Amino acid sequence: MTMTQQEPAMSNLYQPTVMRIASARDEAPEIRTFRLEFTDDQYKQDFYKKYRVGMFGLYGLPGAGESTFCVASPPTRTDYIECTFRRTGRVTAALQDREAGQTITFRGPYGNSFPIDQWKGRNIIFIAGGIALPPVRSVIWNVLDRRSEFGKVTIVYGARTVADLVYKDELAQWEAMDDVELITTVDPGGETADWKGKIGFVPTVVKDSAPSPEDCVAVVCGPPIMIKFTLPVLTDLGFAAGDIFTTLENRMKCGIGKCGRCNVGSLYVCKDGPVFTVEQVGKMPQGDL
């Protein structure tokens, strides 16, 4: 299992670069997507040399601080990067108060990545819940941008209510693709009158759709309770723990394996992760997750 390691970085390793917000879009209540453009060409070049899907960055506003989110757009898109995040505290509130045309800071890319080159020719099932779609969406577009290299693509995505679904227009795009199977769902009670998708919790919907584990990898990301109930479904269907990938969202600060905050066992989520197989997660001290 190779998880790509990036080379040691720049001088003054805490110095961020400045990004301009090209556009901002509200996905759902308190959840916003920024499309960001690099203002420093050298930083941009260095970024794309290293960036593989799954890596994260530290997005910040001087005076407020920095916050960790995945890079929600794939490396196949080189005019911009995107991040999608919820307003939860001091830094995310300050970031969401920024508008298109204004700037924020960025440090990255950090962490390891999904080994999608090893998935060539294989089928992929993407399973995500709520605000956890962004890291998965990054991989989905990476795969779709290189569609012919991969087999069957299935996406199962659910949220509490219709309003909470993120990337609504992209869901429509995936729905319209002949070579993608999309299943969307909302929790019981979360549907609207004109909702055409399924109604039910993501683990149940996955079980009902009974994806074949044959030559298939799974990418799963969601709130802890969703993961807790989805993994046994996949195991029962015959998926191997080494073929199920997830990304951990621990509390991180420095992003580069020094401050100690994301330390789980002998691993640093910011360096050895955030992408792990379920097999690897199973070997971690569960009480620290």
Partner 1 sequence: MVANINEIQSAAAALLNEGKVKLVLGYRVRGNDRVPAFVTQADQVGCLAYDSACTQNLAAYLRKGEVRSRMPLAVVARPEVMRSLMLLTAESQIAEGQVTVLAVDEQGFHGVLDLAGTAKLLNEQYARIAPDSSLMEQLAKIEAMTPQERSAFWSEQFEPCTRCYACRAACPGCFCERCIVEMNTPQWISTAAESHGNFAWHMIRAFHQAGRCVECGACQDACPQGIPLMLLNHFIAREVEREFDARSGYDPQAEPVIGSWKQDDKQEYIR
Partner 2 sequence: MKTLEATKLADLAAALTAAGYRVIAPCQRGDQVHLECYQAGKTLRADVIPVNSAKDALFPRSEVIGRYRFEGNEFETVPVAPQAGKTVLLAVRPCDAAALAPLDAVFNWDYKDEFYNAHRDATTVVALACTAADDQCFCTSVGGSPDSTANADAVLRPADGGKRFILESLTDKGQAIAAAGQAVLTEGQAQADPPAQVAPAFDSAAVTAWAKDGFDSPLWKELSLACMGCGACAYTCPTCHCFDIQDEATRREGVRLRNWDACGFGLFTKHAGGHNPRHDQASRWRQRVMHKFAYFPERFEMLACTGCGRCGRLCGNGMSIREVCSQIEQAAQAGVK
Q: Which is nearer to partner 1, 66 or 164 (CB)?
A: 66
* Torsion, CA 245, CA 250, CA 104, CA 36, rounded to 10: 10
For residues 96 and 87, is the Cβ–Cβ distance under 8 A? Answer: yes
164 binds partner 2 (CB under 8 A): no
Binding-site size for partner 2 (CB under 8 A) equals 45
Tokens of residue 15, six digits = 């110095």
Closest CA to 243 of 280, 218, 276, 274: 218
DSSP per-residue codes, 169-206: HHHHHHHH-TTEEEEEEE-TT---TT--SEES-HHHHH
Regarding 22 and contact with partner 2 (CB under 8 A), the answer is: no
Residue placing its CB nearer to partner 1 in the complex, 92 or 123:
92
For residue 89, state whether it binds partner 1 (rule: CB under 8 A).
yes
3-state secondary structure (DSSP) of residue 85 = strand
Closest CB 92 distance from partner 2, rounded Å: 7
Rounded to a whole number of angstroms, the minimum distance from the CB of residue 89 to partner 1 is 7
The C-alpha atoms of residue 229 and residue 247 are separated, in whole angstroms, by 16
The single residue among 188, 242, 265, 282 that binds partner 2, judged by CB under 8 A, is 265
For 26, the token pair is 């509200």
Q: Alpha helices, DSSP H only, in the chain? A: 41-50, 90-96, 133-145, 168-176, 202-209, 224-237, 278-283
Which residue's CB is nearer to partner 2, number 60 or number 211? 60
Only one of the segments 71-79, 87-95, 219-227, 246-254 lies at the binding site for partner 1 (rule: CB under 8 A); that segment is: 87-95
Residue with Cβ nearer partner 1 (24 or 64): 64
- Of the pair 82, 249, the CB lying nearest partner 2 is at 249
- Applying CB under 8 A, the residues found at the interface with partner 2 are 5, 8-9, 11-16, 18, 60-67, 88-89, 92, 102-103, 105, 224, 249-251, 253-254, 256-261, 263-266, 271, 285, 287-289
